[in-house]
Amino acid sequence: MTVVTTDAATPSQRLAALGLTLPAVPPPAGAYVPARRHGELVWTAGQLPLVDGVLAETGPVGAVADGGSVPAERATDLARICALNALAAAAAVAGGLDALTGVVKVVGFVASVPAFTGQPAVINGASDLFVAVFGDAGRHARSAVGVSVLPLNAPVEVELVVTIS
């Protein structure tokens, strides 16, 4: 995704200018909460690329012999879906998207084949969205980690730490 600049003043206006809306917060798949507020920070649990409660894709990122893999470009789109889910979870405990004032840290996990080294480019799908929604306040520290498998065979998972007003 190319970062789109907009004259919109608030995160919710910027999100709308991108033609996006926050989805419903996906329910947790275990004994945890989707997000937790602590002081002036909100930490999210890892968010998968769920759309209406269903994984948008499954399998590892990168080429595998049987063809059962997710192309890197598609995985970048999936990271953006994870980012939207993370924003929804954070906004739910903060009092809305406009209560979020910036992004501190992003951790992205990419289920990938051993030879795949493009994890940073995949997680750019999330990072670019955060900058588009928050402007300079969306620039963040980040880790992009390759793993052998993620929950439910998801290709990508994103965690988020944001500041609140």
**pLDDT at position 146 over 70:** yes
Q: Which CATH number fits domain 37-164: 2.40.160.40, 3.30.1330.40, 3.40.50.300, 2.60.120.1310?
A: 3.30.1330.40
Domain ranges of the chain: 37-164
Q: Which residues contact 110 (CB under 8 A, 6 or more apart)?
A: 61, 75, 116, 119, 122, 123, 144, 145, 146, 147, 155, 156
Q: For position 6, what pLDDT does the model report?
A: 52
Structure tokens at 113: 């084949």
Q: Which position has the higher pLDDT, 111 or 65?
A: 111
Q: Tell me the pLDDT band of 129, cut-offs 50, 70 and 90.
A: very high
pTM to 2 decimal places:
0.93
Q: For position 48, what pLDDT does the model report?
A: 97
Average pLDDT, the chain: 93
Q: Are 35 and 42 in contact (CB under 8 A)?
A: yes
Q: For position 144, what pLDDT does the model report?
A: 98
Q: For position 8, what pLDDT does the model report?
A: 72
Q: Tell me the pLDDT band of 122, cut-offs 50, 70 and 90.
A: very high
Look up residue 152 and give its DSSP letter: G
**pLDDT at position 93 over 50:** yes
Q: Tell me the pLDDT band of 111, cut-offs 50, 70 and 90.
A: very high
